[in-house]
Chains A and B, each alone.
Chain A
C-alpha cells in the first residue's frame, strides 16, 4: 500500500541516514584526493570514534553531555590519524617507492586488523551502547529516536564546517591545490607532508564523528566499522572517486534508496538495495555520477 505520507516519511528517514553515509564517504574521498591512497581502515576509525564515545559517556561525562563526548571522540580520532600518518603513510612518499598503491593497501589493511584486534583485547567481543538524554522527536509527522535526529543534525553541521574550511581558509586553498596537482603545489612551497597528515586526520575524524554519532543506534563492537566501510565505498563508486559533491549526493542517494526499498519492498534486503544502485551506476556511468573519466595532468 502506497501513500504520499508514508513516502515522505521514508524519504526523510533516508535523507537523515544519508547525511551520515555522506560523512563516511567524504572521509574516504578526501583522503584519496589529497594523499592519493585508499584508506581501507576507514571503518576502524569509525569504530574508534564509537568506542571513545562509549567510554567517555559511560565512564566520565554521563549521558547529558553526550554532545561533548562527540566532540572529544572526533578530536581523538583526528589526533590518532595525525600521529599515525607520518609513521605509516608518509614513507610512501618520503622514499621513492614504485608501487605506492600496493603499499598503502597493505599498510591500511594491517592497520584495520590491528585496530580490530586491539578493540577485542581491550573491550572484549561485547556490544556496548552509549546513552543519550534525547527524547523521541517528531520530524514532521514522523516520530524518531532523538539520537537519530541529533546524529543527522550534527553530521549536517560537520559537513558545513568542512565546506567552510575547504572553501574559505588558506589551508583549504592549499588542500584544493594539492588535490589537483601535488608536484605543482610542492614547487609552490606547500609543505605537502604536513598537509598529508592534516588531510588524513581530517578524513578519519569524519569517520570517527560518524561512529560517535551512530553509536547509540548501531551499537559499539569490534567489527561495527565493517558496514560503515562497505557503505562508504558503495557511495564512492556511485558518486565517483575523488569527487566531493559525488560523496555528498551519493550518500544521500544511498540512504534514500535503502530507505525506500526497506519501506516499500522488504526490509530484510535493506543492505542489498545499495548494491543494486551500484550495479546500475556502473552500467550507465562506470566512472560514477560525478567522477571524471581521467584526471587533468
Chain B
C-alpha cells in the first residue's frame, strides 16, 4: 500500500535539548499504527511537529506525497491530518452537539449540512454520548471528553490520518472499550489511518499490527509489538540497564 504520511529527518530542538533527532517514519493508508516509547522519548514533540502545532528545525513531513511541513495547524487539518490531545481539548461552554459541528463548519462546507447532522448523531450513538447531546461539554467526565474529542476529529470531512496523543490515559475501562470500538469502526468504514501514541500495551497489542518505538528522540525500531518488546535496546530503554 502507498505511504500516506511520510516524515524524513524530522528534527526539533528546545535550546540544547534535541527532542526529535531525525525522525523518519512511514504510515500507510488505512493503517492503525502504535507509537510507543518511554517518557521523554519525544513522542508528543513528534506529534506536535507533524500536526503543525510547532515548526520543525529540520526535516520534512509529507501527506499523500504533498509537503505539509511548517503549515499552520488548521491548514494541515484541512488537508486531512487531524490530531487529538492528551488532555482532551473540548469546548466546555458549547454543547456536545455544537462541539461536533465546529469542525464541520470550519471546513467551509456549508452544503450537505443534513449529512453532517446525520453523521453527528451516528457518532453520538457510537460513543454512547447520545443522552448528553445538549449538555455543555464541561459537564462531561474526563473519559467522555476524550470520546467527544475523538468524535469531533471524525466530523472533519475527508480525514485521512488521525493522530491520537495518549487517548486512553486516565479513563475508565468501559470508556476505553467504547473508544477502541469507535476507532476500529472509523478505520473500517472510512478507511482512515491512525497513529496512536499510548503507554497501554494491551490495547496497542490488540489494535495495532505494527508499532514504532521512539527512544531518546529517534525511531529505535518498527514491527509487531511482541517482536519489538524482546529487543535488548528496547528493554534497556524502558527498564534501565541491569548491574550484571
Contact = CB atoms under 8 A, between A and B. Distances in A.
Contact of A181 (B55, B89, B110): B89
A192 B94 contact: no
Contacts of A184: 85, 89-91, 149
A181 B92 CA distance: 9
B92 A187 contact: no
A296 B85 CA distance: 15
B105 to A, nearest CB: 4
A297 interface: yes
A268 interface: no
Contacts of B35: none
Contacts of A181: 89-92
Nearest to B137: A180
Contacts of A183: 53, 73, 85, 89
Interface stretch (B25-33, B76-84, B196-204, B232-240): B76-84
A188 B90 CA distance: 10
B58 interface: no
Given A183-B53, A185-B106, A190-B102, A173 B72 contact: no
Contacts, number: 81
A186 B73 contact: yes
Given A189-B78, A189-B107, A180 B94 contact: yes
A102 to B, nearest CB: 22
A177 B102 contact: yes
Nearest to B163: A187
16 contacts: A170-B101, A173-B102, A173-B105, A174-B105, A176-B94, A177-B94, A181-B91, A185-B106, A187-B73, A187-B77, A187-B85, A188-B102, A188-B152, A189-B78, A190-B74, A193-B72
Interface of B: 51, 53, 55, 72-74, 77-78, 82-83, 85, 87, 89-94, 98-99, 101-103, 105-107, 110, 138, 149, 152-153, 156
Given A183-B73, A189-B74, A189-B156, 12 more contacts: A174-B106, A180-B92, A180-B93, A181-B89, A185-B102, A186-B72, A187-B51, A188-B106, A188-B152, A190-B74, A191-B74, A191-B106
